[in-house]
Structures are given as structure tokens and as C-alpha cells.
Amino acid sequence: MAVACSRAPQAEVAPASAPAAAAAADREPDEQAEKDPLLSEAQVPHEVVAEAFVTAASPADNLDSPASWIAPDGKRWVITTAKKSGELVVFDGDSGQRLRSVGGKGSAPGQLDRPNGIAVVGDKVLVVERDNHRVQVFSLPGFESLLTFGAEDLGKPYGLWAREKDGGIEVVVSDNYMLGADEETVPPLADLGHRFRRYQLQEQGGTWSARLLQSFGDTGEAGAIRIAESVFGDPAHDRLLLAEEDTAVGTRLREYGLADGRYRGRDIGADLYKAQAEGIALQACADGSGYWIGTDQFKDRSLFHVFDRQTLEHVGAFAGKVTANTDGVWLDMHGDARFPQGVFYALHDDQAVAAFDWRDVAKALALKECAQ
């Protein structure tokens, strides 16, 4: 297991020019293709499921990832990271109406710089900040900043997964540190042993703290994550699914053990993903069954692969009528009058949130009902 280091290694190369550095800072490591992949050309079998709604476009925000929360009054919020504005944008989860935004670009508590991954655990929302090299924890509903952590460990964090554990919160963060002045060169395999960091958060006397428990990442040809972003865990099956976005080796999901952080020797969707593996969500049913949803980020319309939770076998795929270029996704199985069996949220082209009624997805793919 790799030992934690203070910051990702950097190659000794000449500095980039100011315009080149600025362009690189605004581009993701996976945005290198000469031609955008299109679902219309990929000939991947799928069902078309109409969106329940798509929020009003806000391209100036550069939205990335959503997470939902049920407010004390029973209303569903969708909290979305905005990379450009450095804010969290809150939408009504049943109508798509924009409710408010919080934060703002900066490094002080409560401010954000290039927020990407997001997760909600209880009444806490955790947000990855790529350019502040940290994770920030807010309390809901007021968005008070409770804690920032990881700045001494993380080089270029992107995604995270979190759960309640041991009286606190366990967090797994992906760290997409790269080499070169433009930070676009994948490090040697031997240097990928800390692609992921595991933290334990605890609260004592009203104050939160974070402790780094583990740094991990396979360094073998088969199991290494070259371009890391999305990560999602399934404690009931001791499983982590990690998105490998590097098309040079084949984009797919890799299976690691949740408890030990070791590569299980199995990849998911290696023959299915044609664009880039992105956001991951899990439908976790009470009996251990359910479904994984994995995003293939086509530029014209995103494709969402569905896999059996237990066997990881592919059971089908769906796309919306308009939802495209999706980064983050979130599945909320809380039922209400608008979405009795839950709702699946997906980012649309960096500027809006699309919602899919889970009943429509389940009907299109003949999925089993899920007991919560």
C-alpha cells in the first residue's frame, strides 16, 4: 500500500505560457479527443426515456455534479456543483426550479474553487474542490462550513463517495494528479498508488475533524486507474466501482474492494463503454439486490448503462431525449407525490440538471421493483 504524500509529483518541464496554462486549467484531463464521440454513430443498443424535466440552462455556472437531500419540510433539493462560479446551485428536486446559490469563488471557509464531486450524508453535504486541493463539509439546510480537509494530501481531487460509519463519516476521494506543466500527462504506473484517499470524519464537542486512513490505487497494468474521477461504494457487497476514463487503455469501470482498496481483477463494461466512463450511481435495495448505473459521456446524448448490483452483469442501457455530455449523476430512491419510486438526476451539457422518473427507467428496461 502506498504511503500518503503531501502533493502529487510534478515533471521537470518548462512552464506553460499564460494562455496555455489558463486553457489547461479550464479543461479536464479527459477532454483530449480530436473528435467528440457521438451516440448517434456508436450503434449501441439502448432505450430512450423522456426526461421528467430539464432545468433552465445556466452555462455561466459550468455545472458538474448533483446530489439530493430531503429538507425538513419534505421538499427535495438537488444541490449541484458549479465549477466556473465556485458555487453550489440548489434546485427544487421535483420541479427543477432554481432556488438559490451559495458559496462563491475563493479559499476561505464557505468559498469554493472549481467544485466537482459532491455527496450528501445525513444533513451534511461534502464537496470536492479541485483547485483548492481539498474537500469541504457543509451543514444543511444553512450551508454552514464545518470542515475543510485533504489539502496536505490531495493534488487534483475530482470525485468522492461517503457514508455514515463508526459514528462519523467515511470518505473516499479520487485524486487525478497528473504530470507536466499542463497537467495532462498520466504518471508512470508505479506512481498511481495513491489515486484514492480514505478519510474518517468525526465530530466531538461540536467540532469536526478528519483523519487520513489510507492511500491506495493499483499500480499494475490491468488494475491501475490512469484518469480518475467518479467513485462509488457498496458496503453490503464490499465493493468500490471506479471510473477509468482513459480511452487509450479502454474506458470502463474497475472493481476494487471497499474494505482493503485492492483491485479485484474484474472490469465492468469494457466492451460497452464507447465514449468515457463518468458518473456512477447505485440503487441499493434492502435485500441486497438492485442496480448500478454508469454513465457513458457521449457529446450528443449521454448513455446510461445499468448493471445488476450483485452479479455486475449488464441488463440494458437508456438515454434521454436531450440529456448530453453528462458528468455527475445521483439516484434518489425517496418516494414522493411527484416521483413515487424515486428519481435519477444527470447533468446536462455543463449547464442544466435533467431528471428521470425512475418508474419510466424501470419500465423501459423491465427492472425489478426495489424494497427500501
One DSSP character per residue, 30-41 reads T---SS---HHH
Task: Write out the DSSP string of 77-127.
Answer: EEEEEETTTTEEEEEETTT--EEEEEE-BSSSTT-BSSEEEEEEETTEEEE
User: What are the b/e assignments for 50-71, b being 16+ CB within 10 Å?
Assistant: ebbbbbeebeebbbbbbbbbbe
Query: Which residues partner with 97 through β-bridges?
Result: none
pLDDT at 22: 42
Identity at 5, one-letter amino acid code = C
Residue 243 has pLDDT above 50, yes or no: yes
Residue 13 has pLDDT above 50, yes or no: no
pLDDT at 34: 66
Residue 372 has pLDDT above 90, yes or no: no
> ∠ CA(251), CA(256), CA(260), 5° rounding?
155
**Rounded to 5 degrees, what are φ and ψ at 227?**
-120, 110
Collect all residues with Cβ–Cβ distance below 8 Å to 188 and sequence separation of at least 6. Answer: none
| C-alpha cell of residue 83 | 465549477
Give the 3-state secondary structure of 341-371: CCEEEEEECCCEEEEEEHHHHHHHHCCCCCC
For residue range 62-89, list pLDDT tens digits in order.
999 999 999 999 999 999 999 999 999 9
What percentage of the chain exceeds 90 in pLDDT?
A: 88
For residue range 112-141, list pLDDT tens digits in order.
999 999 999 999 999 999 999 999 999 999
Identity at 355, one-letter amino acid code = A
pLDDT at 214: 98
Collect all residues with Cβ–Cβ distance below 8 Å to 338 and sequence separation of at least 6. Answer: 52, 94, 95
**What distance in Å separates the CA atoms of residue 113 and residue 111, rounded to the nearest whole number?**
7
Identity at 42, one-letter amino acid code = A
Nearest to 237 by CA among 214, 210, 266: 266
For residue range 265-316, list pLDDT tens digits in order.
999 999 999 999 999 999 999 999 999 999 999 999 999 999 999 999 999 9
Q: How many Cβ atoms are within 10 Å of 338's Cβ, its own excluded?
A: 15
| C-alpha cell of residue 196 | 484514492
pLDDT at 2: 35
pLDDT at 15: 31
For residue range 164-207, list pLDDT tens digits in order.
999 999 999 999 999 998 889 999 999 999 999 999 999 999 99
DSSP state for residue 256 in the 8-state scheme: E
pLDDT at 137: 98
Residue 359 has pLDDT above 50, yes or no: yes
Q: Round the average pLDDT of the chain to a whole number and report it.
A: 92
